Amino acid sequence: MSASLPVIWLTGLSGSGKTTIAKGLSQRLQQQGLRTAHLDGDTLREGLNNDLGFSDDDRMENVRRAAHVARIMRNGGAVVICSLISPLESMRQLARGIIGEGFIEVYVNCPIEVCMQRDVKGLYAKATAGHIDDFTGIGSEYEPPLEPDIDLNTVEMSVGECVARIEQALSNRTAHS
């Protein structure tokens, strides 16, 4: 039964809204009586993945570890919500392969110009000033998903609307299983 629980994989640029949407979705699902777990890229890099840098190989390893943890948590009975930039299609395909059934790719779609305006951590400013190498969108490529399961335009949609869109997709998925 636990393999039928979803792993919701939020991908997008820094500042696109991944973590905010993940927290809102987790709260809504908990209100419905579901057990959730949120794996956030920044939090993972503070602990489990603090030995990794930002080369493509290290980013791939970051995604691999996160996907394995997500699968374990899902198999333990939680709806898992992952908010990781996971910038390359190959990385997201790796995660999909590890997680298997129930992987839902959500593209948190926001233009880099808007992400730069939302830059509460000042990372884009540091990257454009040359103080951060390999920052996704500036010194390192971000490949938008080719066919995400859900595409959320966070310029046009509120956090609540984004959460509701994911909830609806989960409801439709459950109805068709």
Is 69:48 a contact under the CB 8 Å cutoff? yes
Q: Supply φ then ψ for residue 132, to 5 degrees.
A: -130, 120
- Tokens matching residue 86: 């996971």
Is 69:78 a contact under the CB 8 Å cutoff? no
Number of neighbours of residue 113 by Cβ within 10 angstroms: 9
Give the integer Cα–Cα distance in Å for 121 and 144.
23
β-pair partners for 9: 82, 105
Which residues are part of the catalytic machinery?
86
Number of neighbours of residue 169 by Cβ within 10 angstroms: 16
Is 60:5 a contact under the CB 8 Å cutoff? no
